[in-house]
Structure 1
Amino acid sequence: MSPATERVLLVDSYDSFTFNLAALCRRAVPDCSIHIIKNDQLTFADLLSYTDYFSAIIVGPGPGSPDIPEDIGAANHLWRVDNTHLVPIFGVCLGLQSLATQYGGIIKRLPVVKHGQVSVVEHTGGDIFKGVGVVKAVRYHSLHADLTGNEDLEELAWTFDNDENTRIVMALKHSKRPFWAVQYHPESVLTEGGGIEVMFNFWCLARSWNAARNRSLLPWDGKASTVFGSPWPNLLLPSISKYCTDSRTVLTTTLHLPDLNAVTICELFNVTNDKSPFVMLESAAAPGRYTIIGCLHTTSPHITYSVGNDFLHLQQGESCARIPLGSRDVWSWVSAFMNQRKASGGLSNLPFWGGLVGYMSYEIGVESLSIPITAAGERPRHPDMNLVFVERSIILDSNDGTVYLQSILEGDHKWLADTTELLRSAAQRHSTPSTNGTHSSVDARATFSLPDGETYKSRVSICQEHLYAGESYELCLTAPTRITLRDLPWAASETQSPSWERYKLLRKLNPAPHAGYLRLHPTTLVASSPERFLSFSRPPGATFQLRPIKGTVRKGPDITRAVAEKELRGSPKEVAGNLMIVDLIRHDLHAVVGQDVDVKQFCTVEEYSTVWQLVSVIEGKVGDTVDAPDSHRANGALGWELLRRSLPPGSMTGAPKKRSVEILRTLEDSERNVYSGAFGYWCVSGAGDWSVTIRSCFKYDGRYSCKHTTEAPPPDDRAEEWVIGAGGAITALSDPEKEWEEMLIKLRSVLRVFGYPASREN
């Protein structure tokens, strides 16, 4: 059988590492064609009728147990086909457990859960381990197969747990049929020796078995194509015109004004008037560099969307249009919107020339996972997509004090000239407003509603039971804190914004590289996030980068880098948590960009203003195999598609993502809303940068919004309710008491903005 004719069917059990496995397969057999289906996409009878189209099948990993039919689907029956339908099969994790149970094995719980743990695997040196040396394998499982007394399966590899007292099967083969499987994850970034080597050996064995039986593939036809679609990578972006009808030129003025800071400039541009929308994305601490201030005008396009709707709202000035989406979803509508607003001619060193700025909620990511969204209850809902199109902007470079004025409006030279004069005058006066909050938050009467500690700790234990049962590897459990402020002394003023004062205090107490002040009615977001989620550079040749943070140590007199390294890199819990998210992110990137994904940095301790953090960096680039026209690459639609597919952030859900989100929705009492989504920008140049919405607070205020998008405002305009979300990644190694303490620590920096007494935080 010629390698060029190889076609592979990968059966996905709703895992978050599936595309990593596809990429490993492609590396082992570069010319193979890989088709991916869900395990419940076809009945077994239907699936059986297509096996002769494929050289081999991979039964991939996934949450749950092979003893539960809904977890494994049609894949469970592939091991029992009659001889006329035999095809070589390779199982991974759940796939191995499925093979074992079909031939008399039983599923048991591990004595010690292994999620993101590396084990040394011993093996026979034959079959799929032929020529393989030492294997250090990543394990993601809490269940294992026990083969006592089974004569049809042969053990190929094993490891020892529980202080070497318990032998755990790590690889199997069937004695008569072309079936092989491994319990560990060969596709993980940290697996050594048992990854591509084992996959290549499987293909050699599969080819030999097919050749010995003169097995040939059915020619690919329209029937198969209809069922299985295009091979991976098969990115099919919405059909949009490759011609831009509104090609703009970026006008730029450069000023050297080192005495001006972000607060000064914002207060020159209507930030203190709560009636007006306002957006700023600030690098308030290293390693951030650029701050983006949007200079909105009365007709700046404002897009809002709520999950479950078949329409969005587009507001421009007093006009607010309800726009049906028709056959499109909101993501493709926004992509087409941006395709009509490309621009060129901006300075290459600047990250942003103009474009969309705003946030995505956690729930819009849940919707993308095809998980039903429940009603939000009596509380008014924040829009799930809330974006404004910025045509005038100011960029501050914190490295050298340079200020850049930009406009993508045609002939907008007068605004540039007027703004230049305004900023120079402000710098000459040396009258920089205070960068701290000028009004104490305790001027208002505050009521605090924190999560109940005992309830949270009990839910940590419930999370762990799900982990022990094989339902997830990690669960990011969160809970909201609500603050009600009454009798605000300056609430009615158009020259003093309570939320802006709160932001100034937050940036002082918790300076962060990904801070932001977004007032996009009805939502106001005050953010001090340490975590970049996704950035994508300008095409052509765009690089897509994600920087997950898992592992944080607060700075202190005794917390040196050496101490932080020991507490973070030296912690199996922290490294395992980071590894799980790294592998999940690799999967998300492989889904969009194809083969070219690389971990540039793994579990490096980085220093920030107030903390040490364990950070990894994963990058992807678009390969030639990605089916996307030049217009999609030019306007950054691939980055937008990656954002859609990557939400909610894996660091805020756990893995596998879909099952983890489903579990968390049973344990959390309300929607997360803005918290643990993402905020940032999509530039008219095709670049984008989005941060995880953590260490943040937000409020709902419908008084100044489009009348079609909000409910009636509260009767008391001197009252506000703010929400702070916080939580932590629960693993099998978590201690409920310590998880509760960690959540309180995360709350503290934001709670202090509202005058919460430190003595009450425990």
Structure 2
Amino acid sequence: MILLIDSYDSFSHNLCRLIQDNTHQEVITIFNDTFAPAEYEAAFQNWIRHFDYIVVGPGPGHPEDAADVGIIRYIFQYFSEHPQEAVPVLGVCLGFQSLCHEFGNKVERLANIKHGQIYEMRTQPCELFPEGTNSFPSVRYHSLHVNKDSLNDAIVPLAVCSEPDGTEVLMAGRHRSMPLYGVQYHPELICSEEGDALVRNFSAIAASYNARMRPGLKQDQVHLSLKDKAMARSRAVHDDWLVPSGVFKSGTVPRVVYKEFCFSQKDTKPIDVCEYLSTQGTDFVFLNSAADPGDWSIIGLPLENESEIITHSIDTPDVVKVLKYKSPDSVTQPIKSIMKFVASRMEDRYVSRKDLEAQLGARQGTPLPFFGGYMGLFSYEEGKHLVTKDMEPICDQGTPDTKLVFIERFILFSRKTQQWLLVSIRQHDDEEEKCLQLITDLTQVHPDLRIDINSVHSKVKDYCRPEDQDIEYTFPDREIYKKQFELCQEYLHSGDSYELCLTTQLKIKLPSYLDPWLIYKILALRKNPSPYLCFMNFDDCVLLSSSPERFLSWRDGDKQPNKKMAELRPIKGTVKNNESTTLEDATRILRTPKEMGENLMIVDLIRHDLQTFTDSVVVDALMAIEEYKTVYQMVTVIQGLLPDVGYKGIDILQLSLPPGSMTGAPKKRSVELLQKIEALQPTMNSSGRRGIYSGVAGYWSITDDADWSVIIRSMVHYKSDRENNDEYGIWRIGAGGAITVLSDEQGEWDEMQLKLHSTLQTFI
């Protein structure tokens, strides 16, 4: 049995999987603060010393800071005082630095910090590395290092790498007499080689030592007690399963109204249908896949006084409001967490895809993405690690952080097959008649639904009255941004983060008479078509998004339909798409150490998140360059096959929020730092609250299939925003970029401005 001590890193589950795959032993993970200082001695004597060996993982911070390393310091100090009781240890990054520090070596800042960059590890012949191998590539993530030139005789160097100027940096070492080893690089990452060999070789070292020095090693008595302690702490950090059994049981299969129809004008698009619905006063929620890799568009049709609306605010985190669409009456009830509440509602409504498709029989062709269910959004603050207590509200009546509507009648359109469908699971006797009437209205009564593009103005101000033509904008402060950038650099250099996704917002003051649908049409038709466009106009908030980034989807696996395949598509790296920039140009610009380092960080962070739930994680595409109308972006695709019984897709959503591409890593420390840094901008909430921006929007079908996009390239309006008045309302546009040690302040400011203007061009 192996103990892994996690220092709240965002790659620890990758390390755990690497150990399990190569040892086939159980790995118990605890955090470095699972035990309080007063418990260290008892924890070591009763549990920790009985493991085959200990792996001390990476994490943010410095070995000198007790809060950053917790019990790790005690363990090494105990071995120093009682070498005859030493347990084999393998330290990684912070773990290696802690080993060296506790045996008298100084840990200092690197002259040239490396985060997410691949270097050649040059090794000494020794039992830790593969026989016959004297070098291999691996990924470095460290701001701090142990100076090789001042190393004392307690630590024997085993590997180095060379900087461009010829300076050698210590990459591995061992204690001169005890079985304490460590590596500075990250063997668990996707672009690191020889990680398997490292674990197998260290396991052999530990086994040999244990046979000689610890022949009476017994683990039976400590197994359950420590495992229970570790799991209790894990639940306190991550929450336990949202669905306690790990299973949704198929309920009563609803009678499905399933109508395929077509338009005489073959180029009719979903936005044309929504335009018609708008003219008829029919409300809708619109997920519009207007570009690759998106396919299905969904037009949800909420029904007045019928469709369920769920509203949650972190301003009142322990309650949720449930009401019927456009009904003044609502019910407020206590909850433990909003995700658990939504999961419980879906559990009651779940129907297996197999049962639904059996009802449809031969009529059902291409598998549908959605059979009814929730459409809506979760804000950034619904994610983990945010300090939400006493956070300043954006709205007087409670800021909407979760907004979901349960859709029973909806229109689907596939870009790939050009298939139109009207589907309903509404259980009313007249439902088929109503669906047929809607199809008749769409295809026969009003056969030409296409929007005349010339009738859509190119900018919002053209819809304003003459006296309102000068739209008021409040932009981020340039000088404050410089201070924010410098703060990010300090935290990156101090070892507190590898990458910080610094975001900011601008505010736009618009006349209250403007219809949000007019703004959306400009965004979608004139400016920025994208794979994950959406239009959501709720009672208390409006989201207009042209996101290019899928956050998370889960659906039936292609090869194993009884299992769900979870997929994340993080984007890092952006280049403007214009007449002078080709795909080849963008590829050359984005294939740089900085951009590739950013992408590698989020790839390994997502692998870490998925490893919590499944043994089957693959990177389907690594750092591919994709072209969109206004930008080129670097995209990676990570997939994980969920087991038949156990965690569900909603568990992944809960653990992964907020999106790692919008935070940085290590995630917990980065989120905490960003909240303070972003609060400095006057256009931001004074408590650093991002709100809906950089949350997620999408759907969750009753078949337990879902697709969520990251809310970027978006405009958000809160209808009870504290800055609104009777004549004007505030709209917010957010943008940001990953700050790394390779970042240039002017370059990051320019990239942030580019992202702001990709949405702002709707107005100017």
> Which stretch of the first structure deviates more once superposed, 403-412 or 331-340?
403-412
User: Which residue pairs with 2:313 in the alignment?
Assistant: 306
Residues 436 and 505 of structure 1 are in contact (CA less than 8 Å); yes or no, is this contact kept in structure 2? no
Instruction: Give 1:77 shift.
Output: 1.9
Q: Secondary structure at the match of 1:340?
A: helix
Residues 436 and 504 of structure 1 are in contact (CA less than 8 Å); yes or no, is this contact kept in structure 2? no
TM normalised by structure 2 equals: 0.89
Q: Secondary structure at the match of 2:9?
A: coil
- The amino acid across from 1:544 in the alignment is A
Give runs of aligned pairs for residues 264-343 of structure 1, distance below 5 A: 264-270=272-278, 278-298=284-304, 299-307=306-314, 309-317=317-325, 318=327, 320-326=329-335, 328-343=336-351
User: Which residue pairs with 1:456 in the alignment?
Assistant: 481
Instruction: Give 1:230 shift.
Output: 8.7
Give runs of aligned pairs for residues 67-466 of structure 1, distance below 5 A: 67-81=64-78, 82-83=82-83, 85-131=85-131, 133=133, 134-147=135-148, 148-164=150-166, 166-193=167-194, 195-213=195-213, 214-219=215-220, 220=222, 222-229=224-231, 236-239=241-244, 243-257=249-263, 258-270=266-278, 278-298=284-304, 299-307=306-314, 309-317=317-325, 318=327, 320-326=329-335, 328-343=336-351, 344=353, 345-346=356-357, 347=364, 349-365=367-383, 368-369=384-385, 371-377=387-393, 379-380=395-396, 381-410=398-427, 411=429, 412-425=431-444, 428-429=447-448, 432=451, 434=453, 437-438=456-457, 441-442=460-461, 443=464, 445=468, 446-466=471-491
User: Which residue pairs with 1:708 in the alignment?
Assistant: none
- The amino acid across from 1:470 in the alignment is G
Q: Distance in 2 between matches of 1:306 and 1:212?
A: 59
- The amino acid across from 1:413 in the alignment is E
- The amino acid across from 1:462 in the alignment is L
Q: Distance in 2 between matches of 1:249 and 1:33?
A: 47
Residues 393 and 399 of structure 2 are in contact (CA less than 8 Å); yes or no, is this contact kept in structure 1? no
User: CA 1:277/1:69 → structure 2, altered by over 3 Å: closer, same or farther?
Assistant: farther
Instruction: Give 1:86 shift.
Output: 2.4
Instruction: Give 1:272 shift.
Output: 7.6
User: CA 1:206/1:528 → structure 2, altered by over 3 Å: closer, same or farther?
Assistant: same
1:12 pairs with 1, 6, 23, which one? Answer: 6
- The amino acid across from 2:588 in the alignment is K
Instruction: Give 1:428 shift.
Output: 2.7
2:41 pairs with 29, 36, 45, which one? Answer: 45
User: Which residue pairs with 1:651 in the alignment?
Assistant: 661
Residues 715 and 732 of structure 2 are in contact (CA less than 8 Å); yes or no, is this contact kept in structure 1? yes
**C-alpha distance after superposition, 1:153-197 (max 9, x if no partner):** 111111122511x2211011112111111000000100013x111
Instruction: Give 1:550 shift.
Output: 0.5
User: Which residue pairs with 2:360 in the alignment?
Assistant: none
Instruction: Give 1:268 shift.
Output: 3.2
User: CA 1:516/1:430 → structure 2, altered by over 3 Å: closer, same or farther?
Assistant: closer
**C-alpha distance after superposition, 1:191-238 (max 9, x if no partner):** 013x11101111111111112231422314543343123999997443
Identity percentage of aligned residues: 36
Q: Distance in 2 between matches of 1:743 and 1:89?
A: 44
Instruction: Give 1:435 shift.
Output: 8.2
1:34 pairs with 27, 51, 64, which one? Answer: 27
Tell me how large the CA RMSD over aligned residues is: 2.4
Residues 35 and 232 of structure 1 are in contact (CA less than 8 Å); yes or no, is this contact kept in structure 2? no
Q: Secondary structure at the match of 1:334?
A: helix
User: CA 1:678/1:46 → structure 2, altered by over 3 Å: closer, same or farther?
Assistant: farther
Give runs of aligned pairs for residues 639-678 of structure 1, distance below 5 A: 639-669=649-679, 670=685, 671-678=689-696
- The amino acid across from 2:520 in the alignment is Y
1:21 pairs with 15, 20, 23, which one? Answer: 15
**C-alpha distance after superposition, 1:60-85 (max 9, x if no partner):** 00001101111111112212322464
**C-alpha distance after superposition, 1:704-733 (max 9, x if no partner):** xxxxxxx899551x4221000111111111
**C-alpha distance after superposition, 1:24-70 (max 9, x if no partner):** 1111112x111111111113224313114421111100001101111
- The amino acid across from 1:41 in the alignment is T
User: CA 1:715/1:554 → structure 2, altered by over 3 Å: closer, same or farther?
Assistant: closer
Instruction: Give 1:482 shift.
Output: 0.4
Instruction: Give 1:431 shift.
Output: 5.7
Q: Distance in 2 between matches of 1:573 and 1:331?
A: 35
Q: Distance in 1 between matches of 2:449 and 2:275?
A: 14
> Which stretch of the first structure deviates more once superposed, 284-293 or 117-126?
284-293
Q: Distance in 2 between matches of 1:47 and 1:23?
A: 25
- The amino acid across from 2:254 in the alignment is R
Q: Distance in 1 between matches of 2:152 and 2:496?
A: 27
User: CA 1:477/1:439 → structure 2, altered by over 3 Å: closer, same or farther?
Assistant: closer
Q: Secondary structure at the match of 1:248?
A: coil
- The amino acid across from 2:170 in the alignment is V
User: Which residue pairs with 1:578 in the alignment?
Assistant: 599
Residues 51 and 85 of structure 1 are in contact (CA less than 8 Å); yes or no, is this contact kept in structure 2? no
Residues 277 and 283 of structure 2 are in contact (CA less than 8 Å); yes or no, is this contact kept in structure 1? no
The answer to whether 1:544 aligns with 2:566 is: yes
Q: Distance in 2 between matches of 1:229 and 1:747?
A: 43
Q: Secondary structure at the match of 2:436?
A: helix
2:590 pairs with 564, 568, 576, which one? Answer: 568
Residues 273 and 449 of structure 2 are in contact (CA less than 8 Å); yes or no, is this contact kept in structure 1? no
User: Which residue pairs with 1:748 in the alignment?
Assistant: 757
Residues 268 and 450 of structure 2 are in contact (CA less than 8 Å); yes or no, is this contact kept in structure 1? no
Instruction: Give 1:321 shift.
Output: 3.5
2:501 pairs with 459, 468, 476, which one? Answer: 476
User: Which residue pairs with 1:553 in the alignment?
Assistant: 575
Instruction: Give 1:93 shift.
Output: 0.2
Residues 272 and 449 of structure 2 are in contact (CA less than 8 Å); yes or no, is this contact kept in structure 1? no
Q: Distance in 1 between matches of 2:450 and 2:56?
A: 67
- The amino acid across from 2:244 in the alignment is S
Residues 88 and 206 of structure 1 are in contact (CA less than 8 Å); yes or no, is this contact kept in structure 2? yes
1:730 pairs with 724, 739, 755, which one? Answer: 739
> Which stretch of the first structure deviates more once superposed, 312-321 or 12-21?
312-321
User: CA 1:466/1:426 → structure 2, altered by over 3 Å: closer, same or farther?
Assistant: farther
User: Which residue pairs with 1:528 in the alignment?
Assistant: 546
In the alignment of these two chains, the number of paired residues is: 712
Q: Distance in 2 between matches of 1:697 and 1:272?
A: 25
User: Which residue pairs with 1:592 in the alignment?
Assistant: 613
Q: Distance in 1 between matches of 2:151 and 2:324?
A: 73
Q: Distance in 2 between matches of 1:550 and 1:21?
A: 23
The answer to whether 1:614 aligns with 2:634 is: yes
- The amino acid across from 2:515 in the alignment is P
User: CA 1:149/1:580 → structure 2, altered by over 3 Å: closer, same or farther?
Assistant: closer
**C-alpha distance after superposition, 1:650-699 (max 9, x if no partner):** 11001001101111111112211010111111111111101110000110
Q: Distance in 1 between matches of 2:722 and 2:573?
A: 42
Q: Distance in 2 between matches of 1:477 and 1:643?
A: 22
Q: Distance in 2 between matches of 1:733 and 1:374?
A: 35
User: CA 1:426/1:40 → structure 2, altered by over 3 Å: closer, same or farther?
Assistant: farther
User: CA 1:523/1:430 → structure 2, altered by over 3 Å: closer, same or farther?
Assistant: closer
Residues 305 and 383 of structure 1 are in contact (CA less than 8 Å); yes or no, is this contact kept in structure 2? yes
Residues 385 and 672 of structure 2 are in contact (CA less than 8 Å); yes or no, is this contact kept in structure 1? no
**C-alpha distance after superposition, 1:284-316 (max 9, x if no partner):** 222322111001101210001112521100111
Q: Distance in 2 between matches of 1:47 and 1:271?
A: 69
Q: Distance in 2 between matches of 1:728 and 1:190?
A: 23
- The amino acid across from 2:434 in the alignment is W
